Amino acid sequence: MYIRVLEKLTDTALSAHLISIYRDYLPTQGTSLPKVVYIDCKNSFPIRTFHAHLATAPSALSVTSEQIMENVRVVVCLDLTELRKAIQTLSHSLAVERASSKETDPSSTSTTFVILCGLDAMYRATHLVDHLLAHQQLNDSLLRLRILAAEQESGALQTDILLPRAEFPRAASTLLYKEASNSTHPIKKPRSSWYGSGNMLGDYIIKFYTD
């Protein structure tokens, strides 16, 4: 799966999510330690919480906290223009890494995870200036992420977009019905914020860019 939309996580849940990434993708022969690119509209990476979680799970991960932190990159993007530049930089760094690995170890592979937070705020900031530009840059950024993920030579790339549930009411409503059907205690459907045929940001991404 190239792009996923997930409900925005608390610092504790986000730290657990990051650790699960490393636990599931521990380096094996010919595979480097996964890299995480954390992109947000503010410098909100929960470094203290993440460090605390790492301190309790070093044996399970079989790598040191320092090794993991060296592979986490935090990028701040205030709007979609900066996000597009960040993705272009990521694309360039993956290309450089690919060229370097071909020279040193052609059989090696790498995995990169992009955790994208605050996309709703970036979109609003750009939309206030130019709504057409906001739509164009949103599509450019998401399409570029899918292209990078589809390029097998770049290694595996997956993007998790974290948004408030209110940004994907249609998908969230479907999820709630699925949960209710598997539960002995039905979950009450929340009041929908879906109006007409328009898409909320998260529902738009799920409809056109997720697998």
Q: What is the per-residue pLDDT across 2-50, written as a single tens digit (0 to 9) for each?
A: 899 999 999 999 999 998 888 777 655 456 788 999 999 988 899 999 9
Please report whether residue 185 resides in a domain. no
Strand order in the sheet with 3-7: 3-7, 156-163, 111-117, 35-40, 72-76
What phi, psi does 183 have (nearest 5°)? -120, 150
In the numeric block, the tokens 């929908």 are attached to: 192
pLDDT at 54 over 70: yes
Please report whether residue 104 resides in a domain. yes
pLDDT of 20: 87
pLDDT of 179: 41
Residues 6+ apart with CB under 8 A from 30: 105, 107, 108, 109
Which pLDDT tens digit goes with each residue over 171-197? 877 654 344 334 444 444 443 333 334
pLDDT of 189: 41
Q: Give the Cβ contact number of residue 189 at 10 Å.
A: 11
pTM as predicted? 0.84
CATH of the domain at 13: 3.40.50.300
pLDDT at 118 over 90: yes
Instruction: Kindly write down the DSSP assignment for every residue of 30-46, as one continuous string.
Output: TBPPPEEEEEESSS---
Domain that holds residue 73: 3-179+192-209
Gap between the Cα atoms of 53 and 12, Å rounded: 8
Gap between the Cα atoms of 29 and 181, Å rounded: 42
* Of 151, 77, 154, 157, the residue nearest 120 (C-alpha): 77
Please report whether residue 28 resides in a domain. yes
Taking residues 82-92, what's their average pLDDT?
Answer: 96
Please report whether residue 83 resides in a domain. yes
Please report whether residue 186 resides in a domain. no
Gap between the Cα atoms of 121 and 76, Å rounded: 12
> Could you tell me where the DSSP H helices lie in 64-114?
65-70, 80-104
Please report whether residue 23 resides in a domain. yes
Count of domains for the chain: 1
Q: Give the Cβ contact number of residue 150 at 10 Å.
A: 10
pLDDT at 211 over 70: yes
Q: 3-state class of 205 per DSSP?
A: helix
pLDDT at 62 over 70: no
Please indicate whether residue 201 or residue 170 has the higher confidence score (pLDDT).
Answer: 201
Which pLDDT tens digit goes with each residue over 97-115? 877 766 666 556 678 999 9
